[in-house]
Structure 1
Amino acid sequence: MSDRRSEQSSGDEPSSSSSIPDEVWEQFIRDTERDIRKSAPKEPSARARQVTERLKGQQEPEGWRTGPAWQEKDGRAARRRRIWAVVGLPVAIAVAVVAMRPSLIPGDPFGSSSGSSSGTDTATSPLPAETAAPTAPPSAVAADTPTLARPFAGSPALRWADGADGIVLPKATALGSIPKDRVELALRQTKKLLVDANLNPRVVAGARPDAALAVLDPKQPRLLDELNTALRAPSKAHDPLSLFSRFDPEDVMPAGKVIKTRGRITFAKGKFAGVAVHADFTFVYPVVPVDGSGEVARTIVRRVIDAELPDPARYRVTPGRLTLLSYDEDAGNSACDVNDGFLHPQFPSRAPAGSATPTGPSIDPYDRSRKLGDRPEGCGMVSRT
């Protein structure tokens, strides 16, 4: 695209011999500058990470505006993520086993699946894909202890889809002047980000999420620098768990090959003349200690991501790469105040790895009707895992 500022030839410049009066020419310039200012996009907001710098070059012609900027919230690398410890930290194994059951409601209102003759979970029908925001948490299910053979026993996630099958993309449609293929690209790139960041077995075991990082725009200021810092040297200020699900392979290993997934993706016309994508998903990870005990624990991670595929003809962005506008995360059943870049599930027979004591009311990590912003500060508790 040529620079429109260079399109005016020397013969177009006003001079003393021009037929256009000076006052008319000056008024034209003032009106043009005013129209450009009015048409410039406003700064978008975000819950966790946000675009905080005004678009640069608003006086410049289209094709020369910078893309959305990146800046730490409130001038610091403050992530909006909350780790919820398992409810009722165990003081004895018997109490811990009760805490590990998925519901605090006593009894077995639906009949325990452990009593079935087949000993499998196949009798439970899978849920249809989520198409709208839930209005309530999942119903209580049979209190059942997870095992290596049945790692999702006693969990609402038993009926959820397996892995990437749970990330169902909506049917792409054109958005005004934005063609259908651009919408499809934005959706595919968002799914690629979610799959590599949360479901790739190597990434979950602590490897670098190269495919997820490759989806993000390197021209977005400071974003990749911050994520690379978090992966290289995790800390409280730079935590890779804010975007990636990772477990310490020296501490735990997967209990099977399945990670349960549930959520939805929506799209709309964005604030940067592109396709805005909103993703809200919950992932359930069953793990066992590497000590060979076979004891199963589950960690539940919910992620909410807002991204956009801006118009490369209008903004200085990398074509086909996502601009990450915000991301937010909750982790249920992971030790508090451990900032080594890994999730640390709590097991009934093991002391908690974190130093913080859970306080305050418990939450249901399976409750997808809850807004992530509606949560207390500090180390919370979960009602079931």
Structure 2
Amino acid sequence: MADKKPSGDSGSGSEAGAESSSSLPDEVWEQFIRDTESEIRASAPKEPSARARMVTERLRQQDARGELPPGWRTGPAWHETKRRAARRRRVWAVIGVPVALAVALVAMKPSLLPGAPFGFAADDAAAPATPLPPETAQPTAAPSDEDFPGAPTLAQPFAGSPAERYADGAEGIVLPEAEPVGSLTKAQVAFALKQTKKLLVDANLNPATLRGDRPETALGVIEPLQKDLHDLLDTALREPDEDHDPLLMFSRFDPAEVRLVGDVVKTRGRMTFKEGERASVVVHADYTFVYPVTRAEKGSTEVTRTIIRRVLDLELSDPAKYQVTPGKLAVLRYDQEIGNSACDVYDGFLHPQFRSATPNGEAPTGSAVDPYDRSRELGADRDEECGTVTRT
């Protein structure tokens, strides 16, 4: 922009200044806009630094050798990370010029933008996302990745994730209206639903369980006559290994490794019921739990998320017709899919992977999966190999 020469007439300077602060000729304002845009473009970096080119080339070579991406149960694919980061850079590139012009406009003439100058209050940027209504049927598609820009932080651990709109904790486990089923009364069905929720809450949301404590409440819901299952879970909680993994039914983190960010775990899913074959009601529960975590060491600020989808079928039989323990639920099915935890590590804990760290566990060999896609069935024919997650 050309230098502006001072006026030689000091007596008229104040009048000219007053006039320029109240109005500007259109041609002057247009020239200012053109000059400002030109300076912004001129100051933009033209090419990456030598170090940036070196890092990019190193990552490209790692990708070609199959060392990237991190695995399903380990974290987002490297190419997906690049794509999302590039999208954020494009967003800033688009809004950068208008923001610069708005700042210059306020500096020249604040009276043009009274009150909230950019059209929103300062605290609107941190306004919570609109919660989703309860899930009443299986979704038909995964949520769009484009609808959730941003990245998780300590202040906003669910930023950039569909979980921003999920319910908090147990509020996301909404019980359907109970009805009589077969020989079971409405009250008995309602009891089965409440017991299912009790198990889910203690197994996946109780802070003590998440820290690695024994989930006594959840275990107390399960039919004691299912001795093999109780033995498996008892061994898994006491001496976990590949054949005895407590993560099959319980969410647990090593407190020496990571800590939860805040006190909220996001929950999304649904519960249904139907008549069973043994004078019973069978409750079907399908829920996704999203855990934001950071490293345990003091001062850690990087946030990542582990996503677990659990599917349970639980049965309450009529004790007047079958030899069962009154008030206890038999587990017919327990299935799970874990996103962002190290592959093939069987120490009884989830091990979230951070972008800044080298992935641990075995390298992924399975397909890529969106852990937020609740439209998929967790069927017996799905790929059981450790694969890659497309986002966390």
TM-score (norm 1): 0.71
Q: Does 1:85 align with 2:78?
A: no
Q: Does 1:322 align with 2:329?
A: yes
Query: Could you tell me which amino acid in structure 1 is paired with residue 143 of structure 2?
Result: P
* Contact kept? 1:96, 1:349, Cα under 8 Å: no
Q: 1:266 to 1:106 in 2, by over 3 A?
A: farther
Q: 1:268 to 1:150 in 2, by over 3 A?
A: same
Q: Match of 1:227, SS?
A: helix
Q: 1:255 to 1:326 in 2, by over 3 A?
A: same
- How far apart are 1:187 and its partner, in Å? 0.2
Across the aligned residues of Structure 1 and Structure 2, the Cα RMSD in angstroms comes to: 2.6
- How far apart are 1:301 and its partner, in Å? 0.2
Q: Which residue of 2 aligns with 1:364?
A: 370
Q: Structure 2: how far apart are the matches of 1:200 and 1:103?
A: 38
- How far apart are 1:377 and its partner, in Å? 3.2
Q: 1:98 to 1:268 in 2, by over 3 A?
A: same
User: Which of 125, 130, 136 in structure 1 is aligned with 2:135?
Assistant: 130
Q: 1:96 to 1:346 in 2, by over 3 A?
A: farther
Q: Which residue of 1 aligns with 2:306?
A: 299
Query: Could you tell me which amino acid in structure 1 is paired with residue 356 of structure 2?
Result: S
Q: Which residue of 2 aligns with 1:312?
A: 319
Counting aligned pairs with the same residue, the percent is 56
* Contact kept? 2:72, 2:368, Cα under 8 Å: no
* Contact kept? 1:83, 1:330, Cα under 8 Å: no
Q: Match of 2:138, SS?
A: coil
Q: Does 1:338 align with 2:345?
A: yes
Query: Could you tell me which amino acid in structure 1 is paired with residue 77 of structure 2?
Result: G
Which 10-residue stretch deviates more, 255-264 or 306-315?
306-315
Q: Match of 2:123, SS?
A: coil
Q: 1:375 to 1:383 in 2, by over 3 A?
A: same
- How far apart are 1:85 and its partner, in Å? 2.3
Q: Structure 2: how far apart are the matches of 1:143 and 1:153?
A: 7
Query: Which structure shows the higher helix fraction?
Result: 2
Q: 1:121 to 1:305 in 2, by over 3 A?
A: farther
Alignment of 1:81-230 (within 5 A): 84-88=73-77, 98=82, 117-118=122-123, 121-140=126-145, 141-230=147-236
Q: Structure 1: how far apart are the matches of 2:196 and 2:91?
A: 40
Q: String of CA shifts for 1:147-175, please: whole Å, max 9, x gaps.
A: 00000000000001000000000000112
- Which runs of 5 or more structure 2 residues have no equivalent in the other structure? 1-70, 96-117
Query: Could you tell me which amino acid in structure 1 is paired with residue 384 of structure 2?
Result: E
Q: Structure 2: how far apart are the matches of 1:108 and 1:316?
A: 63
Q: Match of 2:318, SS?
A: coil
Aligned residues: 294
Q: Structure 2: how far apart are the matches of 1:102 and 1:166?
A: 31
Q: 1:279 to 1:248 in 2, by over 3 A?
A: same
- How far apart are 1:357 and its partner, in Å? 1.1
Larger Rg: 2
Higher relative contact order (CA 8 A, sep 6+): 1
Q: Match of 2:307, SS?
A: strand
Q: 1:108 to 1:313 in 2, by over 3 A?
A: farther
Q: 1:378 to 1:168 in 2, by over 3 A?
A: same
* Contact kept? 2:80, 2:390, Cα under 8 Å: no
Q: Structure 2: how far apart are the matches of 1:164 and 1:192?
A: 9
* Contact kept? 1:335, 1:343, Cα under 8 Å: yes
Q: 1:319 to 1:165 in 2, by over 3 A?
A: same
Q: String of CA shifts for 1:221-244, please: whole Å, max 9, x gaps.
A: 311111101111111111000000
Q: 1:228 to 1:156 in 2, by over 3 A?
A: same
- How far apart are 1:371 and its partner, in Å? 1.2
Which 10-residue stretch deviates more, 216-225 or 147-156?
216-225
Q: Structure 1: how far apart are the matches of 2:181 and 2:208?
A: 36
Q: Match of 1:226, SS?
A: helix
- How far apart are 1:103 and its partner, in Å? 11
Write out the 4+ residue segments of structure 1 that deviate beyond 4 Å after TM superposition: 95-99, 101-109
